[in-house]
Chains A and B, each alone.
Chain A
Amino acid sequence: EDQVTQSPEALRLQEGESSSLNCSYTVSGLRGLFWYRQDPGKGPEFLFTLYSAGEEKEKERLKATLTKKESFLHITAPKPEDSATYLCAVQARISGTYKYIFGTGTRLKVLA
């Protein structure tokens, strides 16, 4: 079954305490993997697209990496304003068409 699993479901960090969020996927024909940030009551905000194993993307305190089975979102020295839900999605070829599959997200809380 094609699916995307994110872990942990929730994560509490102290300000400055670096950590990683995981997104594992079981799909065939991966076309791209996407990371989004979502604040409560708002739409997801696009962060990164990764296309192939070994690829890395960075933006401020965030760095996304991709392997053949999973992606990590590394957060270095997080600040309280990094608190949000982080969503992972893949675009894959399923039954002859390209579809997007979303994970359920990791809720990150960064404490001052």
Chain B
Amino acid sequence: DGGITQSPKYLFRKEGQNVTLSCEQNLNHDAMYWYRQDPGQGLRLIYYSQIVNDFQKGDIAEGYSVSREKKESFPLTVTSAQKNPTAFYLCATRETSRNEQYFGPGTRLTVT
């Protein structure tokens, strides 16, 4: 079954705790992306990676970190430095030869 999986679907954390969101894909896509979605706003790019062992900051990278040790995996860590972490987080992939992105099912993070 091909696709993009994100886990967990829902995540609850206390302020001050770091949390890691998982994104795995078996589409063999080189590029992977992390976005956050907030009500009334367009998707905003957090980090992206074009190839293994390389990634770049997006528009709102502060308070987040990523790694890309394997082609299939692009985990996102939300650190305690992120001032407003409660949001819906979306992982996306893209095949190098094409322009459209494909999205995972998302993780809803709630920090209290």
Contacts and interface: CB of A to CB of B under 8 A. Distances in A.
B108 interface: yes
In order of increasing CB-CB distance, the 8 nearest A-B pairs are A102-B42, A43-B103, A102-B43, A32-B99, A44-B103, A43-B106, A43-B105, A49-B100
A31 B102 contact: no
Contacts of A99: 45
A100 B101 contact: yes
A4 B42 contact: yes
B90 interface: yes
Contacts of A46: 100-103
Interface in A70-112: 87, 89, 91, 99-105
A45 interface: yes
A46 B95 CA distance: 13
B41 interface: yes
B90 A43 contact: yes
B104 interface: yes
27 contacts: A4-B42, A31-B99, A32-B99, A34-B100, A34-B101, A36-B103, A41-B106, A41-B108, A43-B90, A43-B105, A43-B106, A44-B90, A49-B98, A49-B100, A89-B42, A89-B43, A89-B101, A91-B99, A99-B45, A100-B43, A100-B101, A102-B42, A102-B43, A103-B42, A104-B41, A104-B42, A105-B42
Interface of A: 4, 31-32, 34, 36, 41-46, 49, 87, 89, 91, 99-105
A57 B35 CA distance: 26
B40 interface: yes
Main SS class of interface, B: loop
Contacts of A49: 98-100
A85 to B, nearest CB: 10
Interface residues of B, number: 18
A104 B4 CA distance: 23
Contacts of A32: 99-100
Contact of B103 (A31, A45, A103, A105): A45
A66 to B, nearest CB: 14
